[in-house]
Copies of this chain bind each other. A is one copy, B any other.
């Protein structure tokens, strides 16, 4: 069912600081500069890797779901992994049929890549928060 590892999601109290770290220590560069994704409650920036991406996320607004994560891990840390799927609705329905918990209403929301995404509860995948996103066109 799953295709590419689209990105590793990393929460940070400051995207600006994190971008500097990845540039200075690892020579990695931003492929998409910081932008707001209010419907997900996050600021987002992408760092390019040869075969995948790092998605840096920072809380946007008081209701951001990332605040809870940063309360536990004030310096940030690995937040989720994101796999591409060909059909997000089919993926959601298959997961539910197998007893997995899709977060929120289960209706796909627009993600940072402009395609629909869902999140699967960490309890279903050994403590790992999994994002599934529709394969971007052009792959």
Contacts and interface: CB of A to CB of B under 8 A. Distances in A.
A108 interface: no
A123 B77 CA distance: 10
Interface string A1-24: 111110010101000011001101
A27 interface: yes
A10 B52 CA distance: 17
A5 B49 contact: yes
How many copies of this chain? 2
A51 B4 contact: yes
B126 A24 contact: no
Given A51-B52, A76-B126, A127-B76, A81 B5 contact: no
Contacts of A25: 95, 98, 100, 120, 124-125
Interface of A: 1-5, 8, 10, 12, 17-18, 21-22, 24-28, 49-52, 54, 73, 75-79, 81, 83, 95, 98, 100, 120, 122-128, 130
26 contacts: A1-B27, A1-B28, A2-B27, A2-B28, A2-B49, A3-B49, A4-B51, A5-B8, A5-B52, A17-B126, A21-B125, A24-B98, A25-B98, A25-B120, A25-B124, A26-B130, A49-B83, A51-B51, A51-B52, A52-B52, A75-B122, A75-B123, A77-B122, A77-B126, A78-B78, A78-B79
